[in-house]
Structure 1
Amino acid sequence: MLTEYLFVFAQVHDEFRIPELLSVAEIHGFEIKFSENPEDRKTVARPFMVLQLESEEHARLLAQRCVLIRYACEFYARGKTYEEMHQQNRIRAPQWAKYASDTSFKFLVTAFNHTIPQRRQTEVVESFDYMDWQGKIDMKHAEVTLFCLEEYRDKHGTTRPRDEGDGDFEEVWFGRLITDGTARPLIHKFDVKKRVYYGNTSMEAEMSLLMATQALAAPGKLVYDPFAGTGSMAYTSAYFGAYFYGSDIDGRQMRGKTNQPGIIRAAAQYGVANRIMDLSTFDVTQNPWRCGELFDAIITDPPYGVRAGAKRLGRKNPRPPQEGPPPTFVQRPDDQPYIPPMRPYELSELARDLVLLARYMLRSRGRLVFFLPTITEDYKEVDVQGMLCEGMELVANSLQDYGSWGRRLITIRKTTTERYPPPTFDPAHAVTDNVAAHIPAHKDFREKYFQGFKKSQQEGTTSQQ
């Protein structure tokens, strides 16, 4: 029999909540049933969600892994008014009555987007007198915490007294607190500012944690990042128990300036250096892999040209063919290594190649997780659907919105057990062959981004004049 549980979320990244919940459920092998209430389905941005789970242990597992969860509660009642909520709570008496006889308890009365005065908090607690709780009140070490939370409209950006509109809430929720979201403090643990090695393109902690969960990082899993950079994906994936392998076309990003590679030093800071299998320098389009189906997940943040552009081996302008005999080999006078020429790697070409690489390198049911920047007004669903190829399906597409542009966390799963040959990384795939006539919004993203910035700047200058 399924039981309803109330989850309270941090009011950030609302599009990432459901994919994160489903990923954690898949890691631990249980199912989640979502609310059938049409109002709840329309308002996914609200910080409350009622889920049906088989056991309280499943609720704890979600709270232990999901960084977006603040609280997990056994759900008792909700209502537009306290009368409606109390009526529903009386119906649910069999759920809470078993605690009422001799269990120490306390009430936690709080609000979202509001501060409840102490006087009214007392009134709210007294309104639950019909529960006839006989146990000891213990404000520090209570066995049961009864959680009452009022939801108010967002009033940010206005100047007002703290208790203005008190009691004018949208809805009130009530339940038994099971646990705090114990994964959320990991955001501070992996804070880039506290890291011994990072760069100007290092992924922020919260997003790297979300990506590791989307990749189903867990003990025994093998994770690969083909654009490792300073290793933001390595630390969170390894922290959750996975083994990590990284590569980058520029080994200096992974090494840093000391004898010990920077990624290894930062991994040691988090106690996961033993889970970094190796770091290699090579162009992903000229990779050394001689067999596929090695990894359980590929997780990466490809460079898209705003702070650092993607590169691949080759010349921007190929040399014309030379006439006559080939030049004779001449020994270089110094011992400096040869640095091969590189050319830009256009984003839509990179994204398509990444999906093909994942189909070759992932085991069946393995996941590819990566960020894809898009221009907001140009984006269409076909932009992502067009990247898919046979044997690969879209699992999640969550937007981190920056206004005129945003970046989408794309999660793709390999659905086939068929073996595919290694991709050729042919530039002809820059525009997907699934939708031949469509140019995706992420194509030439770098040029579009800076053109838009210059246009806005020019308009601002004109208005000032």
Structure 2
Amino acid sequence: MPPRQYLVVFAQTHEDFRVPELRSVAELYGFPLTIPHDFDKSRPFGVLALDQEEHARFLARRCILIKAVYEFYASGRSYEELHEQNRSSRNLWEKYIPETSFKFVVNGYNHSISKARQREVIEDFSYMGFMGKIDLVSPEITMGYFEEYRDRDIHGTTSQKHEGAAVFREAFFGRLLEQGSARSLIKMFDVKKRQYFGNTSMEAEISLLMANQTLASPGKLIYDPFIGTGSLAYTTAHFGAFVFGSDIDGRQMRGKETKPGILRAATQYGVRERILDLCTFDITRNPWRCGGLFDCDHHRSSVVPPIRLPHRNPARKRHHTGICDQLRHPFAREDQPYLPPTKPYELSALAADLVVLARYLLNPGGRLVFFLPTVIDEYKELDLDSMLCDGMEVVRELAAGFRCLITIRKSTSVAYPPPTFDPQVAHGGSGSSGIDHDGEDASPASPVHAHVPAHRDFREKYFQGFKPKKPSSEEFDT
């Protein structure tokens, strides 16, 4: 049976995320998805090919950027072309002619359509000959008609049927299958309504989009090594995954109350039982003694990465204050919290180290999903190559503001040894990774041939306003 076409109505936000989200959800549910080569992500409408109607419903229920999905009947760059194509699609809608209750909805993008004109548009479909009852409240089928204009009509906010031909782009028609129910989650996870959040908490829509990249679903185990205030824990847990979180600074997870803040917010969202545990430790001194534990390892960095690396390995002592374990120095006072000593962790080194750590912790096929702060104008695909290692491959990359959303998959079933961190080699400003990736020499690469990624020294570039560094007098002398 050949694939059928479905009209997708998108929310006009985060256009760059549309295709990655569609592909991730299709992979999650295990069905093929055909996106036309001329798909324009900037437009609010797109026609996709799917094998089954149920697959279209899966997209509507899970994709955050989908407002509605319709069974596609026709489109046209003129009214005549649309109606001609709709007549040729009679085999798709003729079964609704005899007794099915129905209603029509008429919408425009970049212009509004008057009530009088809406009636005129509906009457133009009279040749379909529906004999059922018109039901505006709870019809059995809803037929949707959409007009897309390139920009607003210069004569005002409304247009007559044959006016504005210079800006008219295309019209679409189809039967409503399902409204996009996932978009309501944006309000549910609104940070402003959350019981616990911080100044680095991720906005709800982005955290939901990122959760879809992780393929979060029931039975999967996800690890967030920089969990912070838990923005990604709530959304991935909502989709059914179990979450384990850690952070170098336990204060972010705990907050000031007796019950840890992340657990309070998780209770608010009804996902408390899916937060397995929260621990305080540095990932370069992590307690993992075996790999292949997780289905996804996700990480979210802010625009100015707040990540630091302790320069000594603090002794561990349990304090039963909720679910979080605290790291304490042997000489720390019992009445004061211990804060691990830190030193800068260069971003390009962190990214490379994170990929190798993910290769150790992930199951085959598992994903590492993270935002990489970078200079978008200077960003190149070669930047990703500088952080990859054997057994890890890029699924997709996506630029957004000062950041790229990177999705990397573990493509091997080889069991690698746990990576080790050498602080003598690491993070000294060279930008080379501090992990001895494969138990071999971890000395920095030759500076003559090493590629300098755009995210190298991002923090300094950010505070300098991304202005080119002025050459020193010594450089002129040479």
TM-score interval for Structure 1 and Structure 2 normalised by the shorter chain:
0.7 to 0.9
CA distance in 1, matches of 2:293, 2:186: 30
Residue equivalent to 1:353 = 353
Q: Which amino acid aligns with 1:287?
A: N
Q: What displacement does 1:47 show?
A: 1.4
Q: Secondary structure at the match of 2:374?
A: strand
8 Å CA contact 2:249, 2:339 repeated in 1: no
Say which is worse superposed, 227-236 or 334-343, in terms of deviation: 334-343
Change (3 A) 1:249 1:333: closer
Q: 2:397 is paired with a residue of what secondary structure?
A: strand
1:13 matched to which residue of 2? 14
What corresponds to 2:198 in structure 1?
Answer: 199
* Partner deviation per Cα, 1:211-258 (whole Å, 9 max, x = no partner): 111001000000000000000010001000000000000000000001
Q: CA RMSD in A?
A: 2.2
Question: Does 1:407 pair with 2:424?
Answer: no
What is the aligned counterpart of 1:119 among 116, 121, 124? 116
Residue 445 of structure 1 corresponds to which residue in structure 2? 458
1:430 CA displacement: 2.8
What do residues 163-216 of structure 1 show as CA deviations (whole Å, max 9, x unaligned)? 158553200000001111000010000000000000000011001111111001
> Number of residue pairs matched?
429
| Other structure's SS at 1:200 match | coil
Deviations 1:310-339 (A, max 9, x none): 111117xxxxxxxxxxxxxx9777753543
1:163 maps onto 2:155 in alignment: no
1:154 equivalent to 2:151? Answer: yes
Write out per-residue CA displacement over residues 72-91 of structure 1, whole angstroms, 9 at most, x where no aligned residue: 00000000001001111111
Q: Is the 8 A contact 1:386 1:434 kept in 2?
A: no
Partner amino acid for 1:264?
A: L
Whether the 8 Å contact between 1:196 and 1:269 is mirrored in structure 2 is yes
Q: Distance in 1 between matches of 2:306 and 2:81?
A: 57
Q: Structure 1 residues 29 and 332 mapped into 2: Cα distance closer, same or farther (>3 Å)? A: closer
Which residue does the alignment assign to 2:278?
279
**Do 2:376 and 2:403's aligned partners in 1 also have CA atoms closer than 8 Å?**
no
Can you give the 5+ residue segments of structure 1 that lack an aligned partner in the other structure? 316-329, 456-465
Q: Secondary structure at the match of 2:287?
A: coil
**Alignment correspondent of 1:309:** 306
1:61 is displaced (CA, Å) by 0.7
5 Å-filtered alignment, 1:56-455, equals 56-155=53-152, 161-163=156-158, 167-168=164-165, 169-303=168-302, 306=304, 309-314=306-311, 335-336=335-336, 338-401=338-401, 406-426=402-422, 427=426, 430-431=431-432, 436-452=449-465
Deviations 1:38-75 (A, max 9, x none): xx33x222111111111111111110000000010000
Q: Report the AA paired with residue 389 of structure 1.
A: C
How far is the alpha carbon of 1:438 from its aligned partner?
A: 1.1
Amino acid at match of 1:11: Q
Q: Distance in 1 between matches of 2:43 and 2:278?
A: 42
The amino acid that maps onto 1:139 is L
Number of the residue aligned with 2:46: 49
- 1:461 corresponds to: none
Identify the range of structure 1 (59-68 vs 165-174) with the bigger mean alpha-carbon deviation. Answer: 165-174
The one-letter amino acid paired with 1:194 is K
Alpha-carbon separation, structure 2, partners of 1:423 and 1:372: 21
User: Is the contact made by 1:76 and 1:174 (CA closer than 8 Å) also made in structure 2?
Assistant: yes
Distance in structure 1 (CA, Å) of the matches to 2:81 and 2:396: 37
* TM-score when normalising by structure 2: 0.86
Check conservation: 1:387, 1:434, Cα contact below 8 A: no
Query: Structure 1 residues 314 and 150 mapped into 2: Cα distance closer, same or farther (>3 Å)?
Result: same
Uncovered stretches (5+) of structure 2, i.e. residues with no partner? 313-329, 434-444, 469-478
Partner of 1:4: 5
SS at match of 1:102: coil
Contact kept, 8 Å, 1:223 with 1:296, in 2: the verdict is yes
Instruction: For residue 274 of structure 1, report the CA deviation from its aligned partner.
Output: 0.5
Call closer, same or farther: CA 1:163–1:332 in 2, change over 3 Å: closer
Q: How far apart are the structure 1 equivalents of 2:237 and 2:258?
A: 22
Secondary structure of the structure 2 residue equivalent to 1:377: helix
Question: Which whole-Å CA distance do the structure 2 matches of 1:369 and 1:206 have between them?
Answer: 16
Q: Compared with structure 1, are the counterparts of its residues 341 and 115 closer, same or farther at alpha carbon in structure 2 (3 Å cutoff)?
A: same
Percent same amino acid at aligned positions?
58
The 3-state SS of whatever aligns with 2:178 is: strand
Q: In structure 2, how many angstroms separate the alpha carbons of the residues matched to 1:20 and 1:150?
A: 25
CA contact (8 A) 2:393 2:409 kept: yes
Q: Is the 8 A contact 1:9 1:68 kept in 2?
A: yes
1:302: Cα distance to partner? 2.8
Q: Which amino acid aligns with 1:348?
A: S
Q: Secondary structure at the match of 2:259?
A: coil
For 2:18 and 2:215, locate their aligned partners in 1 and report how far apart those are by CA, in whole Å: 15
**Distance (Å, rounded) in 1 between the aligned partners of 2:207 and 2:362:** 20
CA deviation after TM superposition for structure 1 residue 369, in Å:
0.5
CA deviation profile, 1:107-133 (whole Å, cap 9, x unmatched)? 111011110111111111111111111
Equivalent pair of 1:385/1:394 in contact (CA under 8 Å): no
**In structure 1, C-alpha distance between the alignment counterparts of 2:230 and 2:332, rounded to whole Å:** 34
Q: 2:139 corresponds to which letter in structure 1?
A: A
Alignment partners' CA distance in 2, 1:176 and 1:417: 45
| 3-state SS, counterpart of residue 157 of structure 2 | coil
Moved more, 47-56 or 200-209: 47-56
Which stretch of the first structure deviates more once superposed, 9-18 or 228-237?
9-18
